[in-house]
Structure 1
Amino acid sequence: MCIISFRRSYFGPTMSSDAPRLDLIGRVSGSLQPGALYILLDLRSADLNDTTFHWALYLHKSNGLHPKGYKYHIKTLGEGWIADHGPLSGVTKSFLLVCLVRIAHDIPASQYEGLARLITLADDHINDGAITCRVWTLSALERLRGARFIQDDADVEGLEREVKRIGNNYRAGAVQNEQPRPIVDLY
């Protein structure tokens, strides 16, 4: 397990000799935690100079022989966007996955439905303006922050910068299909 230096806050990177490659906050762990919410970043291209990602949210529900969770995201369809939410198993084996960044933990199963409602609240309006999967994900995070599913003092813009930095540090590994894909804890 590789430890990356971190502070109590999401945003205030420190450099440590324990993490020579990365200037990140968080800890790289090897396993998904049931009841945890992750930002999922996928490659959009194999170009190492492309610093954009496909953004999604992933709620991990159970471990075991076939780990399971639920992926929330929007994707393009022709000139517009469609919601494409659904169950997902084997998320860490996804061919385009760059990394998973844990942003919330210990969400009781009794709150999964409320969490899903908040995440998908604006789905009827995804074609009303300038939307992207990143903007949709960040808007969902704002709603989750307001409902205290994620850290109340979390600055979503700062979180976005940190997640982009994490993703760009792991982009080359994803392009080369290095396994396992990193799971980074940010709290």
Structure 2
Amino acid sequence: MPTGVAIRDVREQLFAAAERILRRDGPSALTSRAVTTEAGCAKGVLHRHFADFDAFLTELVLDRIARIEAQAAALCDVAGTGTVTGNLAGALTEVFGTVAVAVVSLITSRDELRARLRAVRPSGVPVLAEATAMIATYLTAERDLGRLTPHADIATLAPTLIGAGHLLFADRTSTPPEPGAVVKVVAGVVAGVLPE
């Protein structure tokens, strides 16, 4: 893109380009040059908006975490409606059907990114920790509504569901799992805590 041409929503344009690269080529292909080329802008655009490439990646991850936190509010709003299994399957598909799996790979592959994220998110694996909290909050709401048994161990169920969801969607080179496969896994995890 020529110098002097205004770019609307630069951050979102760069984030969207990074996500496309992550999905298509994986974290090892993600460079500042690849992002700006994918975004169709000059390389200097990224560096005018972010201190360095790791600052850009940190903001990308934090933006995706904010999206999970917004999804958490929407998920809690459906507590008491539909089926617990269907709601959970939908939530896992929404989290992992996006770029979350690739973002987790990115976090684990870049030491500086992990260090910067630890400064603002000191515990857990960013993205997975927030997704686990989202599922735990939803399960608690369903338990409070009597749609899960009183003994439902939320602290075990939530990370189990996130781990299973992550594994289902982990292979970026194959097609995503069928919705029925996600429902089947969720049903298996929560079977013992659904009232008869």
- Normalised TM-score (structure 2): 0.31
Q: Which has the larger radius of gyration?
A: 2
Q: Which has the higher contact order (CA 8 A, sep 6+)?
A: 1
Give the structure with the larger helix fraction. 2
Give the structure with the larger strand fraction. 1
